[in-house]
Copies of this chain bind each other. A is one copy, B any other.
Amino acid sequence: MRRVGVLTGGGDAPGLNAVIRALVKRLQAEKIEVIGFRNGYKGLVQGEFQVLHGQAISGILPRGGTILGTSNRDNPFNFHGEDRFEDCVRHAEALGLECIVVIGGEGSLAVASMCVERGLPMIGVPKTIDNDLHATDQTFGYDTAVSIATEALDRLHTTAESHHRVMVLEVMGRYAGWIAVASGLAGGADAILIPEIPFTLEAVAAKVNQRREAGKPFSIIVVAEGARTPEGELVVKQTVAGSHDPKRLGGIGQYVATRLEAMTGLESRVTVLGHLQRGGSPTAYDRILASRYGIAAAELAINRTYGEVVVLQNGIITHVPIKDVGGKVRPVPVDGELVRAARAIGISFGDA
């Protein structure tokens, strides 16, 4: 019997289970058995796995997280200081695996690329909530994250309006502002601050004041966690004020809220969405996209086409070499239609 392995690596994203389910269903139809490694590469290194029978994948389509578990940092080539790649090869051979499907972000796919180079056949499925992977037009989990952020903005709107406040929502997006732009558009934000467009507090405060003068003494600001002023690092330094852990003691959202309150005189509050963006049931859109990725990865495995990553390009699922995936972020085009649309209806990016 033919056999294929699968593992999920990096942060969880809504849709991981949909990929796994579609992969297993498609391979089962070809009588190919699927072995799931536990907790990302760690399971491959340590030989922890389970056979993914039909029962294992029953009912998982609407569920968040990953039934396989994941791991953020484990790397077979530097596993707690050791190169454990040979253990991976040994486990794969012992199980008779033809290849291993890796569902993961840039880090996990870079590891997969090295595995392929050193002779362990792998197939990649791209994953990042942030939607900033260079090789693919859209990643699963992103639509869900945008939906959750939009729902949060709907909630903050009523408080902002009732209290005449500036409500700041900090969303994910360290290197690219996709979630911020999409949820800001969908949630009726007044300003959207993203890494791609450095902002000044003066411009944001001007937008808030302009609204107040027009009889709307409240504003909604969406801030990607990677948003920055033209001076960049300065912001972070001011924010953390003697702390050694900027992420934990108030990020960019807190900074923006604190400063806007001082500059506009309007009460300002920050909400950091954090982990709420990546948990829970995927949207219909993400379930379909994730299923398509899983099926496409299965087709590659069936046809013994290794070293490729399945990607979405112009609405079609296709594939590109794993080694071409990494190293480049896909930013929000600053002159693209989304940003222009946002500006066209009066949303400020804090740059003027």
Contacts and interface: CB of A to CB of B under 8 A. Distances in A.
Contacts of A274: 269, 271
Interface stretch (A80-88, A109-117, A143-151, A221-229): A143-151
A32 interface: no
A288 B69 CA distance: 29
Nearest to A138: B315
A280 B162 contact: no
Most buried by B among A58, A149, A316: A58
A73 B222 CA distance: 27
Interface stretch (A22-30, A90-98, A119-127, A303-311): A22-30
B285 A285 contact: yes
Contacts of A147: 283-285
Most buried by B among A21, A61, A63, A147: A61
A143 B59 CA distance: 23
Contact of A344 (B21, B29, B337): B29
Contacts of A258: 248
Interface residues of A, number: 89
Contacts of A341: 22, 291-292, 295
A275 B346 contact: no
Contacts of A337: 292, 316-317
B275 A167 contact: yes
Contacts of A295: 341, 344-345
A292 B344 CA distance: 10
Contact of A275 (B155, B291, B315): B155
A185 B291 contact: yes
Contact of A65 (B148, B162, B185): B162
A279 B242 contact: no
Most buried by B among A71, A150, A216, A271: A150
B291 A158 contact: no
A220 to B, nearest CB: 11
Nearest to A143: B285
B346 A163 contact: no
Nearest to A298: B344
Contacts of A156: 275-276, 279
A-B pairs with the 3 shortest C-beta distances? A65-B158, A155-B279, A64-B158
Interface of A: 8, 11-12, 16, 21-22, 25-26, 29, 39, 54, 58-59, 61-66, 69-72, 137, 143, 146-152, 154-159, 161-164, 167, 182-183, 185-188, 214, 216, 241-243, 248-250, 254, 258, 269, 271-272, 274-276, 278-281, 283-285, 287-288, 291-292, 295, 298-299, 314-317, 337-338, 341, 344-346
12 contacts: A16-B162, A63-B158, A64-B159, A65-B158, A65-B161, A65-B162, A66-B162, A149-B284, A156-B276, A182-B284, A248-B254, A271-B272
